[in-house]
């Protein structure tokens, strides 16, 4: 295992419920509530994708000008919600620290723009990561592979020997397209697992529990998972 690349929202921090609040509010402001199924279409995607889904749902033409206006609103609203509700599991921090002390380089690759991602990165301990890449820092966000290809390059690793943890269908697809070894952390049975991904539940024999299983894991367990997956890939 050359390196580990982590998604952030829903993987290292349980922030998807916070994003849900803001996304449902955005949809209401645009004129029509989102269904749970429509909300699924926004998970793991860029703000542009979220805005397009919400605007189209409300029969509003998603122009660039409107997107910029509502992006400013989202930045402000998410800042408020993160300040009130963001929580980082102590188990996740301990796991990251143990990997860092073992000398395994790590990166974060998140579709979240830097201005919104920074509070969570600070809470996790950004110094633990060799690099962090945010959605507004690459030409194409997930599900394009750009972010993971850039992370592998910055870490000086090879894609197949880089382990990725992802919770969303979009993110899993991006990591697979980059050629990485991918472990999925679907929040529940309704999350579509991308082809080429093994879930943490399959590796541990536990039901889907998002990042809860990860928070209780150790570096030795992660190394074992990677070895099993790479052996299966040949």
SS3 string of 76-111? HHHHHHHHHHCCCCHHHHHHHHHHHHCCCCEEEECC
- Among 85, 117, 142, the domain-final residue is 85
* Residue ranges making up the domain that contains 40: 16-85
Q: Mark whether 92 and 39 lie in a shared domain.
A: no
Q: Mark whether 94 and 166 lie in a shared domain.
A: yes
Question: In a structure prediction context, what are the per-residue pLDDT tens digits for the chain, which is 234 residues long?
Answer: 999 999 999 899 988 889 899 999 999 999 999 998 899 888 877 888 899 999 999 999 999 999 999 999 998 998 899 888 888 899 999 999 999 999 999 999 999 889 888 989 998 999 999 999 998 899 999 999 999 999 999 999 999 999 999 999 999 999 999 999 999 998 777 788 999 999 999 999 877 666 778 888 999 999 999 999 988 776
- Among 39, 61, 85, the domain-final residue is 85
What does pTM read for this prediction?
0.84
**Residues 228, 82: Cα–Cα separation, whole Å:** 37
Q: Mark whether 213 and 122 lie in a shared domain.
A: yes
- Among 60, 85, 110, the domain-final residue is 85
How many structural domains are present in the chain?
2
């Amino acid at each position: 295992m050359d390196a580990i690349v982590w998604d952030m929202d829903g993987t290292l921090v349980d922030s998807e419920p916070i994003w849900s609040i803001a996304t449902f509010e955005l949809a209401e402001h645009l004129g029509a509530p989102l269904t749970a199924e429509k909300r699924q279409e926004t998970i793991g995607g860029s703000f542009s994708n979220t805005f397009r889904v919400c605007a189209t749902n409300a029969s509003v033409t998603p122009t660039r000008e409107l997107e910029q206006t509502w992006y400013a609103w989202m930045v402000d609203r998410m800042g408020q919600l993160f300040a009130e509700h963001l929580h980082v599991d102590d188990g996740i921090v301990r796991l990251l620290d143990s990997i860092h002390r073992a000398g395994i380089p790590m990166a974060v690759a998140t579709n979240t723009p830097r201005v919104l991602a920074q509070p969570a990165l600070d809470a996790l301990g950004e110094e633990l990561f060799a690099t962090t890449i945010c959605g507004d820092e690459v030409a194409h966000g997930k599900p394009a592979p750009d972010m993971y290809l850039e992370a592998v390059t910055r870490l000086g690793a090879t894609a197949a020997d880089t382990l990725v943890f992802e919770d969303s269908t979009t993110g899993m697809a991006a990591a697979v397209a980059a050629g990485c070894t991918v472990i999925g952390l679907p929040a529940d049975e309704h999350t579509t697992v991308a082809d080429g991904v093994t879930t943490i539940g399959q590796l541990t024999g536990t039901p889907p529990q998002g990042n809860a299983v990860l928070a209780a894991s150790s570096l030795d367990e992660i190394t074992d998972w990677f070895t099993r997956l790479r052996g299966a890939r040949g």
